Amino acid sequence: MIFGPPGSGKGTQAKLLRDLLKIPHISTGDMLREHTSHGDGLGVDAESWMRSGRLVPDATVDRLVEERLLQPDCAGGAILDGYPRTIEQARSLKAVLSRLGMSQLVIHLKVDYTKVIVRIAGRRQCARCGLLYNLVANPPKEPGICDRDGEPLVIRDDDRESVVRERLETYERQTSPVLDFLAGSGSKLCEVEGNDASPAEILQRIRDCMVLR
């Protein structure tokens, strides 16, 4: 489970860990964006919450994650990115994991909020494969184009500054208490410094911490 505020590098680290551990990457943000891009009922409902930087109702995301974790490719574990974000979600996850006989390891990426705002302002994402770039720290080889598949890079609607501030407030109010809840209920926790280091260096810190656990 990768935990941290918006812009802390959860998505980048989750993808690196997926490639390293060969287990699925489950991003509730990506799943919800897929529904909004298809314009189905769930997507239409989720879109208004997402556009304003607030959380989609627990029941919706809990169901998405439970269904995904029950897929056979998750039998050997999975990387959760952006879930759980409320104490209710953490409770629901705990119940699902105990039914599946799985335990959880929490990786907390610690970053300064001021850095997050600068980081998100430079964030771009491939419209097709979802690969993330940063114009300063990790730019594409050709401006505006994905290195992997040549598709255009886009700015997410909710990466605009006013929405980012709301997302940080939501994190502070609803999501950061989840960390205490998880630690208090016996989850293993890795605290990883996420400032001023390359994605590869942060991955190494995560690996070191996972081995030490």
Pull the structure tokens for residue 158. 């909710």
Q: Is 99 a catalytic residue?
A: no
In this structure, are residues 142 and 52 in contact, taking their beta carbons and an 8 Å threshold? no
Site for ligand AMP in 45-64 (CB under 6 A): 49-50, 53-56, 61
158 contributes a contact to ligand AMP by CB under 6 A: yes
For 151-207, the DSSP string reads PBEE--GGGSHHHHHHHHHHIIIIIHHHHHHHHHTT-EEEEEE-SSS-HHHHHHHHH
Site string for ligand AMP, 18-47 (x = CB under 6 A): ----------xx--x---------------
Choose the catalytic residue: 33, 119, 167, 205: 167
Q: Which is nearer to ligand AMP, 111 or 142 (CB)?
A: 111
Q: Nearest distance from residue 47's CB to ligand AMP, in Å?
A: 9
Sequence-separated contacts (24+) of 201-206 with Cβ below 8 Å: 202/9, 202/13, 202/109, 203/13, 203/16, 203/17, 203/20, 206/13, 206/17, 206/107
Query: Which listed residue (82, 119, 168, 178) binds ligand AMP by CB under 6 A?
Result: 82
Q: Which is nearer to ligand AMP, 28 or 206 (CB)?
A: 28
Helices within 25-140 (DSSP H only): 28-38, 41-51, 58-69, 87-100, 113-121
Query: Which listed residue (15, 25, 35, 85) binds ligand AMP by CB under 6 A?
Result: 85
Q: What are the catalytic residues?
A: 10, 85, 123, 156, 167
**What residues line the site for ligand AMP (CB under 6 A)?**
6, 28-29, 32, 49-50, 53-56, 61, 82-83, 85, 89, 158, 167
